[in-house]
Amino acid sequence: MGTRDCKHESAMATPCSGEAGITGDWRSARPVVDQSKCLAVKAGRPACFQCWAFCPEGVIKKEVGSEVDLTYCKGCGICVEVCPADAITMVPETEESA
């Protein structure tokens, strides 16, 4: 089936997560959070949130013990760079992990 039924003459989308597609499959390496090193987790209350603030894709929630949403994370690694506690590391994607 083709796209003829789509009545848009120009590209148009409703703002929501993933309107640009499943961008997580662009990733060549994934961020893995070591929660035991996370400052917010260690403090047991909202703190730091540098990873949330700098994530350009908005795939990290502002929560204590937040995980990265790997469906849309493009694997840029900015969260690794900004984490003051070195709690996040990039792990290469392999056929097995994908």
Binding positions for another protein, rule: CB under 8 A: 1-3, 5-6, 8-16, 18-21
* Minimum distance, C-beta of residue 35 to another protein, in the bound complex (Å): 31
Among candidates 52, 46, 35, 38, which has minimal Cα distance to 84?
38
Do 48 and 40 meet the contact criterion of CB atoms below 8 Å apart?
yes
* Minimum distance, C-beta of residue 5 to another protein, in the bound complex (Å): 7
Cβ closest to another protein, residue 8 vs residue 45? 8
Do 30 and 93 meet the contact criterion of CB atoms below 8 Å apart?
yes
* Minimum distance, C-beta of residue 10 to another protein, in the bound complex (Å): 5
Separation between Cα atoms, residue 15 and residue 32, nearest integer Å: 28
Cβ closest to another protein, residue 7 vs residue 45? 7
